Homo-oligomer: A and B are copies of this chain.
């Protein structure tokens, strides 16, 4: 692969190069990249806005994350927040801080991933800032979305007796991360030994593809928002699962002034996740509660919507909202209850 130094393009040249083939898809995008600001038509709608900062060495490790995947995931993390408001993502601005280690081709890969995520979710990339960095890669993304007035779903709307639902399954991204971290350690310990290089390093991930995919290429659940809308269900509260089920449940309960019960047996966990957790000697429920990076939607619906959500594919009813005084608890099969904590579920750790 060729390596073009960023300095050959300069700041303005680089931005032009990376953004030249960006097509605008939303009629609401009046002006994209190339002015002091982007301009967005928002009449008759409400706008939502979210932002995320991702730092190399803290949020991602380029040893095992390809730049295209990183671009994809960086976009998804923000798009997921927009869906969690019951809104449709529409525009995105991206800032990159880039050290000399990176060349134009690296940033092209990053942008390829970013553009793919935007295309998949109908988002227009409308601006940003590219700057040099002394240390590694810094990514800051802000995503905007639109929602009909009155239709935004907050964390604060859960009511006593509501059902607690979650999409997809949980804990797989965390298991994927553990796998990648383990292989990185193995690789590092072998480096230099018997002349082994990275070309000789082929870890066997057979049967664990799902875990890697969930870690490296997560999806944002716009399909769930659509499905609920089609079924005529409007969640009473919603959040996306980025820090783990436990932490997100506590956010909803705190902001809604309620408690909750989650049934351990109802928490959706994939077979590969369970198998891998066993191998690592971790309780799969701990992975689901505290793993994070699932980007599934956690939401509550009125009990009267039970019939409507019961049979929706990919949605699991995992518990119920209760009065604040009863606390936020996990109920296990033997009838015990354990308080949920944001830091981890202590009795299992």
Contact = CB atoms under 8 A, between A and B. Distances in A.
Contacts of A40: 46-49
Contact of A53 (B42, B96, B134, B155): B96
Given A31-B154, A41-B149, A93-B142, A36 B57 contact: no
Interface in A148-162: 149, 152, 154-156
Contact of A134 (B126, B127, B135): B135
Contacts of A138: 53, 55, 97, 138
A145 B140 CA distance: 19
Contact of A85 (B37, B147, B154, B155): B37
Where chain A touches its partner, the secondary structure class is strand
A131 B59 contact: yes
A188 interface: no
- Chain A, interface size: which category? 35 or more
A314 interface: no
B34 A50 contact: no
Contacts of A87: 37
5 contacts: A38-B48, A40-B46, A43-B149, A47-B144, A49-B49
B41 A43 contact: no
A50 B41 CA distance: 15
Interface in A1-47: 12, 30-31, 34-47
A132 B34 contact: no
User: Top 7 closest A-B pairs, CB basis?
Assistant: A42-B42, A140-B140, A37-B48, A53-B95, A142-B142, A36-B84, A36-B81
Contact of A50 (B36, B154, B155): B36
A58 B97 contact: yes
B37 A145 contact: yes
Copies of the protein in its oligomer: 2
A175 interface: no
A19 to B, nearest CB: 14
A51 interface: yes
A94 to B, nearest CB: 8
A55 B130 CA distance: 11
A35 to B, nearest CB: 5
Nearest to A237: B35
A141 B96 CA distance: 12
Contact of A58 (B133, B147, B239): B133
A142 B55 contact: no
A128 interface: yes
Contact of A240 (B36, B96, B127, B136): B36
Contact of A47 (B42, B44, B85, B140): B42
